[in-house]
Copies of this chain bind each other. A is one copy, B any other.
Amino acid sequence: MNAPAAEQVDDDLWSAIGDPTRRRMLDLLLSEGEGTATTLSRRLPVTRQAVAKHLVVLDRAGLVRGRPAGREKRYQVDDAQLARAVAQLSSVGAAWDARLQRIKRIAETVQRTRRDPKHTQDQQD
């Protein structure tokens, strides 16, 4: 691991789950199994139309699938895609974590080195 890395992630996916309203929608869809723009909007602080737009975004990101049912259109989470999203989330988290760890190690090395100026084995990136 040498390059900047850690950002091979679909930016689309990120921006999809980056929005707080959309995250709440995913929560709702997960806990209730499915929902329409109307039912979701009843439990959210935004209008039905706003929810509808978010559903389009989530749909394009593949996180959610909708099918018409009579006069309404029911949406539900695409389990596989959301699982993938979760994986990417934790991937970025892990990358940052790793860097933080490395920084901590370097800091300690520097401490050691100051007391003991010999054998300065480089622990750089």
Contacts and interface: CB of A to CB of B under 8 A. Distances in A.
A27 B14 contact: no
Contacts of A83: 97, 100
B7 A15 contact: no
The quantity of this chain's copies bound in the complex is 2
Interface stretch (A16-24, A51-59, A67-75): A16-24
Interface string A13-55: 0110011100110111011010000000000000000000000
Interface residues of A, number: 35
A23 B88 CA distance: 13
A94 to B, nearest CB: 8
Given A86-B93, A100-B79, A100-B82, A27 B15 contact: no
Contact of A14 (B5, B6, B20, B95): B20
